[in-house]
């Protein structure tokens, strides 16, 4: 059975195979460059571990610390940073060309909320029946939406007419 995350762990104690290491003490102050065996012995005398912190340095930087506590704090920092991340979503708003003034304002308000939450918006303007012949009126409505949201959003890409054989016009809005 292979334990999860074993390869992500830093090298410690006998896993360190380089001849010399730069050692940092428990109080975060540099001790100096020591042979690896001597550094491990120094850590053992304090009932702690020698943990490789910067393996790419020359010589590698190791710290004298409790390995279990170090791993726990590292996981806690990762969890905390995940909490602060925002997963961007693509929200879809559908409209018809013959939209009433109040309905238009409600949709606009909802789009502003989505943009404030840093979400992207896929605006789909449905054309029904003979509305397909009047794409100029649909483009006027799209221009009106662009102007009303100009302070919080910008258009990504270009307006797509009748995409995938559907009678619709699509537009992507992203927060500024």
Q: Is the pLDDT of residue 141 over 70?
A: yes
Look up tokens 């460059």; give the residue: 33
CATH 3.10.20.80 range(s) for the chain read 6-82
Angle at Cα 138 formed by Cα 136 and Cα 142, nearest 5°?
Answer: 115
* Inter-CA distances, 166 with 106, 144, 161, 169, Å: 25, 23, 9, 9
Question: Distance from CA of residue 154 to its chain's centroid?
Answer: 21
Average pLDDT, integer, range 8-32: 90
Q: Please give the pLDDT value at position 163.
A: 63
Quote the pLDDT of residue 94: 93
The backbone region for 18, taken as left when phi is positive above 0, alpha when psi lies in -120 to 50, beta otherwise, is: beta
Does the domain made of 90-175 have the CATH classification 3.30.110.10?
Answer: yes
pLDDT at 57 over 60: yes
User: Over pLDDT 90: what percentage of the chain?
Assistant: 57
User: Order of strands across the sheet with 30-35?
Assistant: 30-35, 20-24, 61-65, 49-54
Nearest residue to 26 (alpha-carbon basis) of 47, 7, 12: 47
Where in the sequence of the chain do the CATH 3.30.110.10 domains occur? 90-175
Record the pTM: 0.53
Angle formed at CA 40 by CA 36 and CA 43, multiple of 5 degrees: 140
pLDDT single digits (tens) 84-115: 777 788 999 999 988 999 999 999 999 999 99
**Gap between the Cα atoms of 89 and 120, Å rounded:** 6
Alpha helices in 29-157 (DSSP H): 36-45, 67-84, 101-116, 135-148
Helix (H, G, I), strand (E, B) or coil at 72: helix
Q: What is the pLDDT of residue 176?
A: 86
Q: Which CATH class is domain 6-82?
A: alpha beta
- pLDDT score of 160: 83
- Beta strands 61-65 and 153-161 are unpaired
């Amino acid at each position: 059975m292979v334990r999860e995350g074993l390869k992500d762990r830093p090298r410690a104690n006998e896993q360190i195979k380089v001849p010399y290491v730069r050692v940092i003490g428990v109080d975060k102050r540099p001790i100096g460059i020591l042979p690896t065996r001597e550094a491990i012995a120094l850590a053992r005398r304090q009932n702690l571990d020698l943990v490789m912190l910067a393996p790419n340095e020359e010589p590698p930087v190791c710290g004298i610390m409790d390995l279990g506590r170090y791993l726990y704090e590292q996981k806690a920092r990762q969890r905390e940073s995940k909490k602060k991340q925002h997963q961007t979503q693509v929200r879809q708003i559908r409209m018809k060309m013959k939209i009433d003034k109040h309905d238009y304002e409600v949709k606009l308000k909802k789009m502003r909320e989505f943009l404030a939450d840093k979400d992207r918006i896929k605006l789909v303007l449905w054309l029904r029946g003979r509305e397909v012949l009047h794409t100029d009126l649909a483009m006027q409505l799209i221009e009106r939406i662009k102007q009303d949201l100009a302070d919080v959003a910008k258009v990504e890409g270009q307006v797509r007419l009748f995409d995938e054989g559907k009678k619709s016009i699509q537009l992507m809005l992203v927060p500024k």
